Structure 1
């Protein structure tokens, strides 16, 4: 009898310990979900915008385990269960636009013409990576009109000079700080410019390109700081740089493309605010996430490399390229400039409170 009682007590203690572990893990996931709702720019808050898919998968697995041990008569356990369900639901809701369950934000092009199409390849090469031949093979495979590379230093500038035979129009700013940028274009560039919008160490590229039809397209290429204490303890300047360019785009109302490694994910509040402030469309909505980072870790991937464009374009195709040596996958997109596109697609817009937030963030970034 005594031995049986000891076994029962031991099993009860193990059950209670398991419940405590599950409750702690559930509360940690709830905390990780709730923290980004705070509109603070500290890196350790904003970094939780990134792993929504990972938190969702972990939350669903934890939810299944929790239900096995849940005692519905204990109010605290029920409250924690409810919070976990809300957290998982919120994470899934934020990612839902980047699934095939919602309508396209960018319509598919009907019969695109080479004269009005633009093909762009965006690649973060990873500065210390030396697999230039593999990258040149990707260029040959996609045959883009414009190539943007970031994290490019002098070594990469030399390694990619062979591109200039086919891409005579270039804009270069190689740096050994991981913020170097190289641009190669078959299309004529008008007023190409390298700007340092908020920091002398963070370049961005701006120009117009001329399509074979003669139409001109404004293009902006960016690579702001990541939310990482090694680079930036706050995301204030990252957000402000994107919003400054976005505001210029919105006021212009001309065919425009903004692309690059934003060091922010597609589903974050700050990227959504940028999209509304700029009035640009996201071709991934309704099609997929196109996770571009981390190419070396399949368990930790999210979309960092973006191409947003005005409603003057429809989509021919968008693809995530193959892994080739960098920690980023390249992103390829082909867009078609079509006269009816603007009237057939709804551009996002800010409300009054969002307008004030945009102005406040730009002002904070300029301080």
Structure 2
């Protein structure tokens, strides 16, 4: 038998002119493939660990922080899976093992984020009436306390003409700048602080029974009010900004979670239309935000419409939905958009809701089961707080 070599191709033939072709790897190629397999093994293992850790209900900041970058992990897993399919020798069981693990993690991450894409059914129906008397427009803006572009925010307010503005991280400097709004927004709640947790509310609509409370932590305020619409309807509104789990804030998420749970339990007991908004320092797709939605019965207008990532405004590759507005089933949605940057590390969120008589979202939302209720109870007991700590402004209304 004779042979002829053409680079990687070796042709063996006999005098009868019958021949067969075999592939011979060039010198060093086996080492390259082994190195590639090892690289994908390490990458897939890391991504799998980052996917699995949040399955735990442990409240340590470094575990709960992995709830945030699910979109980034999804994209990393998708890229890894595509490269594994293209570059690995799929005749080996090791390669298929990596592919299966990457695919399983990819599907799991997708389960959390797909509801915040347009391929998912809407949770809140679009408004189909033009009753201006039953509308409410809200801007939720974390201003970044050190940001000095107050005029940028004021310009957005003049353009969007919200009925209510809530600012987070606003200190006395920001209060001084925003007080010029009082000509158009005469109803206010003010709590200037220099610890990144100051809060202000400016409203065109009358606000009654306003209260500032420190529900869980002594330096983290929340605001509560009953708002009167031009239609005469009353709306209960809660403005929140709990601290995040992080190495520089709280070592665990228990304080944040407890505040969300007691608010959820409180609003679940009322028949008055409810809005909860603010920087919750939790992402829309986390297990704890889902728990809040299940316990409260409130809806998320982003579901089926998009992520509306409001943080971080300066890094497009590190963004997630950190600023929220949830509402009861009394409303439909007229408009929802992320506003342009005004110098903060957050984008402001603009939401326009319409109060509807038919409650056409009645069957939408998430339902709590026994495990959810038990988990919520543990969270409140851990911080020794109760839903009775939450103001119920409609209980004292004289309207």
- Identify whether the pair has TM-score above 0.5, normalized to the shorter chain: yes
Query: How do residues 1-367 of structure 1 correspond to structure 2 at under 5 angstroms?
Result: 8-341=26-359, 344-366=362-384
Cα-Cα RMSD? 1.6
- 2:271 and 2:108 map into 1 onto residues whose CA distance is 34
Contact 1:106 1:345 (8 Å CA) reproduced: no
SS in 2 for 1:334: strand
Summarize the Cα distance change of 1:342–1:240 in structure 2 as closer, same or farther, 3 Å threshold: farther
| Structure 1 runs not aligned, ≥5 long | none
Contact 1:51 1:302 (8 Å CA) reproduced: yes
After TM superposition, the runs of 4+ consecutive aligned structure 1 residues lying more than 6 A away are: none
Structure with the largest fraction of helix: 1
| Structure 2 runs not aligned, ≥5 long | 1-7, 9-24, 386-399
Deviation at 1:350, TM superposition (A): 0.7
Deviation at 1:137, TM superposition (A): 0.3
- 1:32 and 1:193 map into 2 onto residues whose CA distance is 41
- 1:17 and 1:346 map into 2 onto residues whose CA distance is 50
Contact 2:125 2:361 (8 Å CA) reproduced: no
- 2:196 and 2:232 map into 1 onto residues whose CA distance is 35
Larger Rg over CA atoms? 2
SS in 2 for 1:341: coil
Q: Give aligned pairs, total.
A: 363
Contact 1:105 1:345 (8 Å CA) reproduced: no
